[in-house]
């Protein structure tokens, strides 16, 4: 990371009100009319919550994916509440409902496609495993292209 980039990242986090790990971390900086935080990055204004996730995990948002909040708080920049996912995804809902979704490794075709896309954009295996409630080794298998046993 170049020095300029490091300074920009520091500036970014200075605009986030850090709370406890489980709490929402509201964005204190510039707000766009749509109610989302914005930060100037690499030549254009970008959603603050998207950058919070990228700066923390190193993963960039793939085209077609949204930066989703598990807390439904548009201003929240706690990376633990954020994930890149399809708009239609109900992963968080499924997990909240305590379904057997993860344990049996039954990921939908959409989930598999999303996971592969996110891996290609730098997602960490452990983050994906946590978010989908599956094992790290399953994510590893998806990465190498081996289909998991149903």
49 lies in the site for Zn ion, by CB under 5 A: no
- The Cα–Cα gap between 129 and 93 comes to 16
Binding mask 6-35 for Zn ion (x = CB under 5 A): ------------------x-----------
Annotate 42-107 with DSSP letters as a single string. TTEEEEHHHHHHHHHH-PPPPTT-EEEESS--TTB--GGGEEEE-TT--HHHHHHTT-STTTTT--
C-alpha torsion angle, residues 81, 85, 87, 93 (rounded to 10) = -50
Cβ distance to Zn ion smaller for residue 9 or 71: 71
The stretch among 36-44, 66-74, 97-105, 130-138 that binds Zn ion (CB under 5 A) is 66-74
112 lies in the site for Zn ion, by CB under 5 A: no
71 lies in the site for Zn ion, by CB under 5 A: yes
> Are the C-beta atoms of residues 119 and 144 closer than 8 Å to each other?
no
| Closest separation in Å from C-beta 53 to Zn ion | 12
- The Cα–Cα gap between 39 and 22 comes to 23
Among 16, 48, 52, 76, binds Zn ion (CB under 5 A): 76
Site size toward Zn ion, by CB under 5 A:
6
81 lies in the site for Zn ion, by CB under 5 A: yes
- The Cα–Cα gap between 146 and 9 comes to 37
73 lies in the site for Zn ion, by CB under 5 A: yes
Cβ distance to Zn ion smaller for residue 81 or 118: 81
Residues in contact with Zn ion by the rule CB under 5 A: 24, 71, 73, 76, 78, 81
């Amino acid at each position: 990371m170049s020095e300029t980039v490091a300074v920009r990242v520091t500036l970014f986090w200075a605009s986030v009100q850090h709370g406890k790990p489980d709490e929402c971390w509201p964005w204190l900086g510039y707000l766009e009319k749509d109610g989302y935080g914005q930060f100037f990055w690499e030549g254009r204004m970008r959603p603050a919550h998207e950058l919070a996730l990228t700066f923390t995990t190193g993963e960039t948002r793939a085209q077609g994916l949204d930066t989703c909040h598990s807390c439904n708080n548009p201003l929240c920049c706690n990376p633990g509440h954020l994930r890149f996912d399809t708009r239609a995804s109900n992963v968080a809902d499924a997990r909240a409902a305590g379904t057997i979704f993860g344990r049996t490794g039954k990921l939908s075709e959409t989930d598999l496609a999303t996971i592969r896309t996110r891996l290609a954009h730098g997602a960490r295996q452990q983050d994906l495993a946590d978010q989908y409630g599956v094992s790290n080794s399953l994510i590893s298998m998806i990465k190498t292209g081996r289909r998991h046993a149903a």
